[in-house]
Amino acid sequence: MDARTHLWSADVLPEFRLGLENLRAHKLRSLLTMLGMIFGVAAVVAMLSIGAGAQQEVMAFIEQLGVRNLIVEAREAPDNQTLQKVRKLSSGLSFKDLRIIQTNLDGISAVTARKRFTPSKLTPRPLGGDSPVVYGISPAYQTIANLKVASGRFFDEGETTAAAPVAVLGEAATAALFGAEDPIGRYVKVNDQWFRVVGVAGPQLTVQSDVAGIPAQDRNNIIYVPLYSSVFRLEDGQSAQKDEIDGIYLQMKPGSDIPASAALIRGVLDVAHRGAGDFTIVSPAELLAEQRRTQRIFEMVMVAIASISLLVGGIGIMNIMLASVLERTREIGVRRAIGARQRDVVRQFLIETTIISLSGGVAGILLGVGLSQLIGVLAGWSTIVTTASIVLAFGVSVAIGIVFGLYPAVRASRLDPVKALHYE
């Protein structure tokens, strides 16, 4: 048996048992002392789990957009008066803008324009919910958006150039139009144009609110058709006020300077649109970096707020342990009289505060995990309990318990043995 094992079995283990006995002798007081730790740890775990869930959903959506991608979105005017002012300066996003970008920007590996609208008539009729949105795109969209095909295929360049009446359905659009039936080879009528379904797209992540210029939309409830389909000429030939296209997707080659490319696109379009401000540049890479910074700040703020509860718990531990020192003055005097050293007394009281902190930390973690799951069920939020949040909350609770228990322990060790023996 080495020296460390002997020290544990001869000194620490008996004092650990003594500490447990002292806490069990005052069960209610020990429980009330732990409450500060329990609620503090639970608050840290629950708050960080809510924040992690919300941030992960947004960051996963941004990552899906593609960190090498750049998206130009047409900005809709809030009212007709504003639209008229904008149209005096700019005719809106167009294929000409796409050609200008391709001419001035190096390092483009894939590009497509996008035109979308919500059809007024659909056959088969959608089975409840929102009507699918029609996206007119080129096949490059599949690569840029990392769009997987669950069954069938995606339309090709030849079908796009020929404006072939083919369509690929999103997961939700498939369910709305055909239910559980296989849609491949079936037909969908969009307004007055029939399309043959050639593929079904795999699931896409969606968010419930706008993200930096990208409107909230169910990205699974989409019908993808060739960009030059006659349905768009018929739909938008009725209004000269609409943009020719309403989105441009670009994927840059690996190693490209994404922020510089975004700045160049913004500059050339500002000149082409005469400063009308009728478009938005979305850079997923910059959004992802910003979201990560926001997440770190959020976590620090949440930990700071929740740590107040831990601090209150630490003060409670100090208060109770100081009272315990007064109650056990005679016991301390006896221990010192029969040979206990100051460090033995310090260790005894620190063991008791550590037991309180550990017990409160474990109970707080269990409560925090339960709260986060309850909030997720009741509020419909995504919550994620991370290992980091548990380790952080538990570590801080134990550290606070030891720090606030140190002063009472040192004070107990410095009692005069003779006076302590005569203390009543």
Give the model's pLDDT for residue 290: 74
Q: For residue 9, count CB atoms less than 10 angstroms from its CB and return exposed for 0-12, middle for 13-18, buried for 19 or more.
A: exposed
* pTM, to two decimals: 0.65
Whether the CB-CB separation of 56 and 376 falls below 8 Å is answered with: no
pLDDT at position 149? 92
pLDDT at 238: 44
For residue 199, give the H/E element and its range. strand 193-201
- What's the pLDDT score for residue 266? 92
DSSP 270-318: HHHTTT---EEEE-HHHHHHHHHHHHHHHHHHHHHHHHHHHHHHHHHHH
Give the residues of the chain that fall short of pLDDT 50.
1, 6-9, 236-238
Domain ranges of the chain: 10-61+290-421, 114-237
Q: Yes or no: say if 305 and 394 are a contact pair by the CB < 8 Å rule.
A: no
